[in-house]
Chain A
């Protein structure tokens, strides 16, 4: 009796299982961010999603980017979001409706974009299986930033300065009896 050949199912390695768990954490907490009614909870899940993305960077051997992600996103941007949430605390009650009336259209648009992107990813022959290096990246990034990318680096500092001044001016309370 001739049995049909059993298809050769690839066994996932430890690295792939770890990536799967990390991706599940990222996607699940991102879904919680956009669906929870309590904005404070969704901000906390956003911090979890940022931490998971830092783990994804570690899988890509991007050590500097992973640390920068934790420092800037989890450390700075999340604190900024929390401050804004607490300053606008009247909208934080969980009984408030959080979605606009046309949320079904929004879901349809995002699923449509997802279908297009996944179709592109699956159908395109990437053919990139070059074995990547696992050298530390921080020294190379520093050298590149101060030689090849010096002008963008300086422009980024100007962008940050302008954003800081703009944020202070926008958030400052203008008193009517202020002579200035």
Chain B
């Protein structure tokens, strides 16, 4: 049997890799990839806690289903924004897009 700490450690490492990806990349699509990694880390935590706390109730699974739904919506809207930005700027480097800077 695999202890709960292993799942939590894996999810912590994955979350921090996602943070690094979001903070360090300049391509907007890479930033979206980092966000997806962080959401997956949270999902692993939800399912692991649900299995070790209340294995019969499955609240963690339900939460994960909703998180996956929201992640799909977020990816669709985010990529639409990226394509719209690309049409106006011919690039999607977030450190050069300063349209809203005062």
- Chain A residues engaging chain B, CB cutoff 8 angstroms: 13, 15-16, 19, 23, 26-27, 30-31, 33-34, 39, 42-43, 46, 49-50, 53, 56-57, 59-62, 64-65, 68-69, 72-73, 76-77, 80-81, 83-85, 87-88, 90-91, 97-103, 105-107, 109-111, 113-114, 117-118, 121-122, 126, 128-133, 137, 140-141, 144-145, 149, 152, 156, 159-160, 162-164, 166-168, 170-171, 173
Contact = CB atoms under 8 A, between A and B. Distances in A.
B102 to A, nearest CB: 21
Nearest to B39: A73
Q: Classify the interface of chain B: helix, strand, loop or mixed.
A: helix
Contact of A62 (B23, B61, B80): B61
Interface string B17-47: 1111101111101101110110010011001
Contacts of A87: 83, 86
A99 B25 contact: yes
A141 B29 contact: no
B26 A98 contact: yes
B52 A141 contact: no
Contacts of A152: 66
A156 B73 CA distance: 10
Interface of B: 1-10, 12-21, 23-27, 29-30, 32-34, 36-37, 40, 43-44, 47-48, 51-53, 55-56, 58, 61-62, 64-66, 68-77, 79-84, 86-87, 90-95
Nearest 4 interchain pairs by C-beta: A106-B23, A163-B73, A34-B21, A117-B12
B14 A26 contact: yes
B74 to A, nearest CB: 8
Q: Classify the interface of chain A: helix, strand, loop or mixed.
A: helix
Contacts of A101: 95
A80 B20 contact: no
B12 A114 contact: yes
Contact of A39 (B2, B27, B94): B27
Contacts of B12: 114, 117-118, 121
B2 to A, nearest CB: 5
B5 A121 contact: yes
Nearest to A162: B73
Contacts of B68: 68-69, 72-73
A156 B16 CA distance: 28
